[in-house]
Amino acid sequence: QKEVEQNSGPLSVPEGAIASLNCTYSDRGSQSFFWYRQYSGKSPELIMSIYSNGDKEDGRFTAQLNKASQYVSLLIRDSQPSDSATYLCAVHTGGFKTIFGAGTRLFVKA
Amino acid sequence: EAGVAQSPRYKIIEKRQSVAFWCNPISGHATLYWYQQILGQGPKLLIQFQNNGVVDDSQLPKDRFSAERLKGVDSTLKIQPAKLEDSAVYLCASSLGLGAEAFFGQGTRLTVV
């Protein structure tokens, strides 16, 4: 079992729709969770961090964490073509290391 | 505030040669990470430092890769000898501490021919 799992996609949504990205992790001792956006040829860029169960909203982005289910998600409302990128889930594990999933490619169709 | 600085941006070497990458983290950041990202894959943690101590290096191929963080600030990652499969982008990131938000440098794209 991979430590951090994401659906590789691609996930295709029309402009203006909600994009839902999911991530599961294996280490129950994990405490910090992050979403990064990566455009082709660029470095990962931090979008959101979440540390406790529930929802955290920042503009068009909402991160959701459920530690009991070992599940973290990212919702992007009013998706724009500029949101087309690979979205990476990162987890700070109980072993104190920060590891990444393989990423989900998102395409927003104009 | 200056971001994470990495050099060089690009490097092309022949297999069996050696190469070194340099990283200067954001000022005051205690945790420094080196990741390897192969095209189409997520970043793979090679080594994570907390100040000048190693937190995790379980995925570092120690027969050919080495890394150090002298004085708990700058870090270098070395590959000797390089193999074709080492072709990747090497990303350095830093954070205030363990579990904090990490910020990435621009990366070094290595091509081994």
Nearest CA among B9, B52, B2 for reference residue B30: B52
Write the single-letter amino acid at B70: L
Stretches where chain A sits below pLDDT 50 are none
Dihedral of CA atoms A37, A73, A32, B76 in degrees, nearest 10, equals -30
d(CA A26, CA B27): 33
What is the reported pLDDT for A44?
98
> What residue in A sits closest to B95 (Cα-Cα)?
A98
Which pLDDT score is estimated for B104?
98
Query: Is some CB atom of chain B closer than 8 A to the CB atom of A101?
Result: yes
- pLDDT of A8 reads 86
Which of A108, A56, A100, A55 is closest to A79 using CA atoms? A108
**Peptide bond just before B8 cis, omega within 30 deg:** yes
Count, residues in chain A: 110
Interface probe for B, chosen from A3, A46, A98 (most Cβ of B below 10 Å), is A98
| Segment B6-21 mean pLDDT | 98
Do the chains contact at B101 and A97, CB–CB below 8 Å? no
Asked if the model's pLDDT at residue B39 lies above 80, the reply is yes
Q: Which of B21, B23, B19, B20 is nearest to B5 (CA)?
A: B23
B1 pLDDT tier (thresholds 50, 70, 90): low
- CB–CB of B55 and A92 under 8 A? no
Using one digit for the tens of pLDDT, what is the confidence trace for B43-81?
999 999 999 899 999 999 999 999 999 888 999 999 999
Question: A60: Cβ–Cβ under 8 A, 6 or more apart, which residues?
Answer: A76, A77, A78
Write down the pLDDT at residue A2: 78
